[in-house]
Structure 1
Amino acid sequence: MHKIDDQLAKVTARIHQAANAAGRNPQTVQLIAVSKTQPAQALAEAYAWGQRAFGENYLQEALDKQIALQALPGIEWHFIGPIQSNKTRPIAEHFAWVHSVDRLKIAQRLNDQRPAELPPLNICVQVNIDDETTKSGVSLAQLPALVAAIGQLPRLKLRGLMAIPAATNDPTQQRAAFAKLRSARDDLNAQGYQLDCLSMGMSGDLDAAIAEGATFVRVGTDIFGARSSAKQ
């Protein structure tokens, strides 16, 4: 039987090993357990073994899990999927982080709909680092203008950049893609921004991502096992 505690331990050990190899403090890399299509009970089990940050792609499914797990203190919800305009309000109301903002319209709606009693919503801008037509994300060329506009929105806290590079098993190519995102973040910080987050790296490439400065890695199957059919 698939044991979430064993898998969490293996993923955590891999993160620590990659961070140490890169000369980094492992505590500077946070694991987001990608829990889309997983039942609330699986998240509760991961929580019992110390996992706190969970990444969700499907809004209604995530809201159902948030209700089921609302008694768990310190659980942190990250929205990591594509965002439709008609779904920004519940995202603004029920998540601490959004990693997938890729256009100003979405950012403006999240800003306007973030409840006043909550702290500003933590935002990562999703970058289409390899200009893939099938993927969401702003281009590197358009990134500075989008970041400048988001920086003016008071109910959002711009924290960093996110990317899902083109799939490859070549560690050199993996690192090159992540280096582009890190360089883009560094260029923005040189202009006066204070972006402290790089959301990059999944099961197949998290070692390369950590070597290039990832502060969030997003891992699902290696923790929970194979997913069931997605539901929205």
Structure 2
Amino acid sequence: MPKGSIAENLNSVAARIVTACQSCDRSPESVTLLAVSKTRPAADVRAARSAGQRHFGENYLQEALEKQQALTDLDIVWHFIGPLQSNKTRDVAANFQWMHTVDRLKVARRLSEQRPPNLPPLNVCLQVNIDEEESKSGVSPENLPALAAAVAELPNLRLRGLMAIPARRGENEDQRTPFRQLAALLAALKAQLPDQPLDTLSMGMSGDMEAAVFSGATIVRIGTDIFGARQ
């Protein structure tokens, strides 16, 4: 559990990213740190932004909208990373730059239809239930190609890649397995949809970030190791 200030914790996580990248001959610039600020007050987001952090992930829509309203003076890239009911897509379409958890065509269609015309296309990742756990959201690997092809046709979305929350495994090497599987699925989608900007693997959290980076993560979603235990 981190014991330093938010700025100190950000520096510590950044150092871990550098070390993980060096271990697999990757550039640290190829990995974006997404600070998961769910349940944290706007003041904590402001402190992290003051320390140089620009990308923030939120799981709960109403909480996120309130924080956005309080932080309109800051240059922040907002990512929605929680489950989303289809009747709440309008606020995500209007207020976020990224959406990581698309797993149904109905949600994707609504996001595209409700994206304001003055904004660029919404960057989306398809959430894959890589372990096919009944308790988790996400499209199955088998149904992924069809969903990706349909989402790629939507005019106000940019299909950027895949996201997953694998089950925890005991050893670092074991944890790499589902991340490698997700990377392989992305490679297959690139061949299927060569015209799409498929450059994103959103995977890895505080406990398994190194395994994710080793396996090709381009966005790691870190909350606890930046902000401390969830409130």
- CA distance in 1 between counterparts of 2:13 and 2:4 reads 14
- Equivalent position of 1:135 in the other structure: 136
How far the C-alpha of 1:194 sits from its partner, in A, is: 3.5
- CA distance in 1 between counterparts of 2:188 and 2:153 reads 19
Alignment length (residue pairs): 227
Q: Deviations over 1:153-177 (max 9, x none)?
A: 0000000000000112311221111
Query: What code does the residue aligned with 1:213 have?
Result: G
Give the 3-state SS of the residue equivalent to 2:108 in structure 1: helix
Residue 2 of structure 1 contacts residue 225 of structure 1 at CA under 8 Å; is this kept in 2? Answer: no
The 10-residue stretch of structure 1 (124-133 or 171-180) with the greater mean CA deviation from structure 2: 171-180
Residue 158 of structure 2 contacts residue 197 of structure 2 at CA under 8 Å; is this kept in 1? Answer: no
Residue 129 of structure 1 contacts residue 165 of structure 1 at CA under 8 Å; is this kept in 2? Answer: yes
Structure 2 stretches of 5 or more lacking a match? none
Whether 1:62 aligns to 2:64 is yes
- CA distance in 2 between counterparts of 1:106 and 1:30 reads 25
- CA distance in 2 between counterparts of 1:100 and 1:39 reads 23
- Equivalent position of 2:166 in the other structure: 165
Q: Deviations over 1:11-43 (max 9, x none)?
A: 000011001111000000000000000000000
- CA distance in 1 between counterparts of 2:98 and 2:85 reads 16
- Equivalent position of 2:14 in the other structure: 12
Q: Deviations over 1:93-128 (max 9, x none)?
A: 000000000010000000000000000000000000
Alpha-carbon RMSD = 0.9
- CA distance in 2 between counterparts of 1:19 and 1:127 reads 24
- Equivalent position of 1:222 in the other structure: 225
- CA distance in 1 between counterparts of 2:120 and 2:20 reads 33
TM-score between the two structures when normalised by the length of structure 2:
0.97
Query: What code does the residue aligned with 2:145 have?
Result: P
Provide the identity percentage.
Answer: 58
Give the 3-state SS of the residue equivalent to 1:158 in structure 2: strand
- Equivalent position of 1:174 in the other structure: 175
- CA distance in 2 between counterparts of 1:187 and 1:2 reads 42
TM-score between the two structures when normalised by the length of structure 1:
0.96
- CA distance in 2 between counterparts of 1:194 and 1:3 reads 37
- CA distance in 1 between counterparts of 2:202 and 2:115 reads 22
